[in-house]
Every structure is written in C-alpha cells, then in structure tokens.
Amino acid sequence: MPNALKVFQAFDRALISEVPTDDSASLERKLAAAAGAFADRDGWLAPHARISILRKTAVLLEGRRDEFEKTIAREGGKPLADAIVEVTRAIDGLVDAADELRNFAGREIPMGLTAASAHRLAFTTKEPIGVVAAISAFNHPLNLIIHQVAPAVAVGCPVIVKPAATTPISCLKLVSLFWEAGLDEAWCQTLVTDDNELAERLATDSRVAFLSFIGSARVGWYLKSKLPPGTRCALEHGGAAPVIVDRSANPADIIEPIVKGGYYHAGQVCVSVQRIFVHQSLMTDFIERLEARVAQLRVGDPLLKETEVGPLILPRETERVSAWIDEAKASGTRIIGGGRFSETTLLPSVLVNPPADAKVSKLEVFGPLTCVYGFTELDDAIALANSLAYAFQSSIFSNDIKSALHAARRLDASAVLINDHTAFRTDWMPFTGRRQSGYGIGGIPWTMEEMSEDKMIVLNHVK
C-alpha cells in the first residue's frame, strides 16, 4: 500500500495493518476545514448538541469495548487487564466532559463599586479558543486521545489529533465513533504520519489557536518555541517520580502499591514510580519484600489476561533500558532480577543504590525497573527527590501524619500522594508537570478551561 504506515504488535512485532498516511496536501485540507468550521459562528454546536455527541460516543465505545481493549493491548503492548481499565476510563472521560458543561460558565463581574462604574451590568461568557492541534503519545493510545479530544469537542473547538506513529489505530477508531455519534468531520480530524516535519507544521500553523502536546520534553519545548505569537499550549512530559518510605511505614503494607506504580505498563508511564527513598532502618526488610513481589510479576503476551508486565513499545527501547542498567551495574550497583524475556520485553528489575549520576537516577527510564536508595534524615530524602530538573507527581508512605505533611509541604511536585503510588490519577483531577515536566494543566475539566476564553460583556443601562 503506497503512503501507508505499518502498525505492528508491540509484543511480537507481527503486522497488524497498514494505515493510510497524510501528506502536506491533506494537512492543508484538514486545517482549512477546521478553520472554516470555526469561522462559521452560526454553525457552532449548542451545548446540548455537544453533550449529546459526547454521551452517544460513550455509548458506542461501551458497545465496542472488547475491540478497543484488544487494540490497545496489540498496538501498545499494555496488558489486557490494564487495557480494560483504560477503556473504562475513556468511557468515563467522555461522560465527564459532557457533565462538566452543566457548570462550564462565566460569572458576574461586580459593577457600581465606583461612581464611574454605576448603572452597568457586567458578566463573562465562555468561548472556544479556536482550532486545537493535539499531538499524542503511545502509552495510553485511547485515553490520552480522550484527554485531548473530549475537552475540545465539549467546549466547541475543532480538533486535529495526531496519534503516535506506533499506536494510531485506537485513535482512528475513536474519531470514527465521534463521527458516528453525529459530529461533523471538520470538527474532529486525524493526522496520521511519522513525518516529524509534517507534525511540526500542524503544531505551528497560524490557524491553530491551541497546541496540546503529550510526549518527550525535548520535542514539546522545541514546539513551544516555534509557536506563532498568541498561540497557547499545554505540554505534558514526564519525570523520574520519587517515592519516600518514611521510618514509620510498614513495608508489608506498601509493597503492592509501589510495585503497581513502578511496573504498570512496564514502567511506560510519565509518573511511574522510579526513585524510591527508603529509611535505612527499613532497607533490608523493604528490599526483600520488593524483590519477592517483583519476581512474582507475570511477564509475557499482553493479550493474556494473567499478564502483568508486557513489552516496551519498540525493540530499540529494550536496548536503551538494558544499556542504562548495564551502566549502573558497571558502577557497582546491585541489580535484582532483570534480564530479557524476548526481543521486545524485559524482565522487571530493582537497582539498589545506583550512583546519583547514573542515567537511571537522573533521567526518565520509561522501563520496568525501580531504583532504591537509603536515607537517614527525611529532609535529605526530600532534597534528593527535588534534585532533578523534573517535577511531576511524588509520594510518601508514612504512618506519622507530621512526617507526611512535612514532606507534602516540601516536595517540589504538582501533586503529593500520601500512602499511595505516584501513578495514581483520576481524569477529573488537575494533572500537570512542573519545571521541565510540563506546562499548562491537564485533566478534562482543566483542559476545557485551557481550550476556552472568557469574553466580558458590559451593559450600560443608564436611563
């Protein structure tokens, strides 16, 4: 098939399908269609129509959940048990966006507070910002698209979404559901390409009012630097999420959530547990328990219901993560577990006290490993947790409320989870990286705010 993108199963690299790609001409057609739809204010959908489309899309997705679950597992390599959760979240996200419109409104601005403002009534209304360009990542190939597209549809922005080249099928299937639910194609389109230059043209076109980017910090910050004046954006990158295990914590109670947060989707999550700082008095017990639980993780084909850890998205990623582990091992780091299951799949590992300058200590691994470091003073652990250029979500496990709140106040993070892992998220809570980890705020209601603008209307009613 000419001009097609080959999509492979992440686990065994078997070909799933060949997806037609877009070129420069099709990008121009889609941008013109989106800009034209937005320019026709009489054609804007009323809130009740947008609510109806979002709810109908949720119903259609529910009816095809098995198909979407298997698609996520195949193209993205996410274990089926977690793919089931992703589809459930996606359905809820559509409903959440529809429900949010019941309270999505402006407010009255008080007048008459001075003589000059007397006899006036002022209020704000919400308007869509304009055309949205959404560039997405592979690791949640359905739900990340929901995070970007559902808010745009809800507020009335035409959206062009570019899925990751490795996982476009979930996105294409979802957009077709929006069309089936009654949304005109001009209001929700896809750009399928592995051409970075074409993706950059989408992001930086002057007709785009808002860029939603989920992916690497290097690409996100580069695109932000290229945006035309006035274009707004939200960037969601990653980090090396820290977890502190306070001396009052009970290792028996906390291993399960830490393992879930660290090895879920083979660690390919932007807030995956990566750096675990454990009080020295607990180190031996904690490591023994962590080693035992990690050894029990079932690794293999993501389409099998029992699989807990599947492949990395590309074989080259297994090579990269393996090289980082080897670097740490060469520096004397103790490695627990690890090894290779297949070309695409690594066995989970634990690295004990890797050097501070090792890649696994200072960069986002995006692989099935965690690093454990000992500490004696809580403030020292907090300083180490805050020492990188990334700041997203963090957590502390503690049975001492004083220590927990002490850490919560001092950890440099957009969210501090107490007695929970760093990868916890609901789709209606704010989700944002600080510093190099991101810009703007995610989460469906918060993204709706980002994709809208307030317009103030002032009525002079002097008789």
Percent share of the chain, pLDDT over 90: 94
Query: Please, are residues 61 and 90 in contact by the beta-carbon 8 Å criterion?
Result: yes
Percent share of the chain, pLDDT over 70: 99
pTM, entire model: 0.92
Q: Is the pLDDT of residue 1 over 60?
A: no
* Rounded average pLDDT over 245-252: 95
Query: Please, are residues 252 and 289 in contact by the beta-carbon 8 Å criterion?
Result: yes
Q: In this predicted structure, what is the pLDDT of residue 463?
A: 67
236 a catalytic residue? yes
Q: Which of 455, 441, 456, 446 is nearest to 127 (CA)?
A: 455
Q: In this predicted structure, what is the pLDDT of residue 93?
A: 97
Set 171, 188, 233, 270: catalytic member? 270
270 a catalytic residue? yes
Count CA atoms closer than 13 A to 428's CA, side-chain side.
10
Terminal-to-terminal C-alpha distance of the chain: 72
**Residue 94 token pair:** 């559509």
Q: What count of other Cβ atoms lies within 10 Å of the Cβ of residue 280?
A: 11
* Rounded average pLDDT over 279-296: 96
Query: Any idea which of 63-72, 147-156, 177-186, 383-392 has the lowest mean pLDDT?
Result: 383-392
User: Across the strands, what pairs with 235?
Assistant: 213, 439
Query: Any idea which of 211-220, 287-296, 427-436 has the lowest mean pLDDT?
Result: 427-436
Q: Is the pLDDT of residue 462 over 80?
A: no
Q: How confident is the model at residue 3 (pLDDT cuts 50, 70, 90)?
A: confident
Q: In this predicted structure, what is the pLDDT of residue 461?
A: 87
Domains and CATH numbers, the chain: 4-237+437-460 (3.40.605.10), 241-427 (3.40.309.10)
DSSP H stretches of helix in 332-426? 359-362, 378-385, 401-410
Q: Which of 284, 308, 8, 321 is nearest to 138 (CA)?
A: 8
Set 236, 308, 364, 449: catalytic member? 236
Q: How confident is the model at residue 410 (pLDDT cuts 50, 70, 90)?
A: very high
